[in-house]
A and B are shown apart, each in its own frame.
Chain A
Amino acid sequence: MKKRLWIMAAALMLPLAAWAMSLDEAKSQGLLGEQPNGFLGVVKATPEAVALAQDINQKRREAYLKIAQKNGISLEQVAALAGQKAIERTPKGQYVKTPEGQWLQK
């Protein structure tokens, strides 16, 4: 009986992974946007969007750090350049944050 419960629990967990949101989905749904500091910001907080932003921002930080160390500049400088690039590349309709801290829909 207990075993069956475990199997049912596991079966219930599976679809969760399949429903995990992609970054493009979160951005096009207006949940996440690019910030000048090079990291994702949460425009509209849903648990899934917040978790996704945290996960990706952690990975971005690691990537920025590598580039910073390679070129002998600070993490913040790399991140700011990345932020500028990410904002430039953001397609129309998605959110970007101004240096003043305001969310704008491009």
Chain B
Amino acid sequence: MQNVFSRPKGLTELPFHYCPGCTHGIIHRLIGEVLAELNIIEDTIGVAPVGCAGFSLDFFSCDFVGAAHGRAQAVATGIKRALPEKLVFTYQGDGDICAIGTSHAIHVAARAEKITSIMVNNAVFGMTGGQMAPTTLDGQITTTSPYGRDCNVVGSPIDLPKIIATMQGAAYVAAVSVDSPKNILAAKKAIKKGFQVQQAGLGFAFISILSTCPTNWGLSPVDSIKWLQQHMLPVYQMGELKLPEEGRNHD
């Protein structure tokens, strides 16, 4: 019998432990496919954050280093500077990269650090039980914004890709989503480009991916997808916000 669907080589055999319907799994699969298709598994070192994504170090078949909360991009910088010929990527939540790790996010872009960072934006702190993140939407109820996020008091959501796209050292910036087959394909393309930009040594590559957190949103997996489409897609600017051609003049 012909095998028509299997786990990509970029993933280990370990079953994902993510909550049912969580789109972390889809994103993992996309990265696993890209690692295999670009034939870079043996030349790649991944950096895992703290948060639900922290377990990713077990799921990818390349070498992996687990960083402290928010520090993945500084750790990735150290790896890349020690091994400039290798591919280095970080896989981080929105809490990790937009809150505690913001300064590193800005500075890897400023340095044109030749790494690829993937941000999984589910608009909450997932692992710690659904607290408000810098990406939480206006009015969104979380455990630390029980009356809904009040932007007059705590500020407005951070659209990190937009900020990073303004920086000279960022060669490729894309904001994608995994809510539909079409968007999943676009997300994979962006992830692939993110690695190719690094291979070409063009500068920092950043891909933000809208993702669901059914558990902390208190919604079914299907309703979570709908919620993402209705509430998150209109707020966050989508698409390729910066392409290598523009980033080139930095070299």
Instruction: Decide if A and B are genuine partners.
Output: no
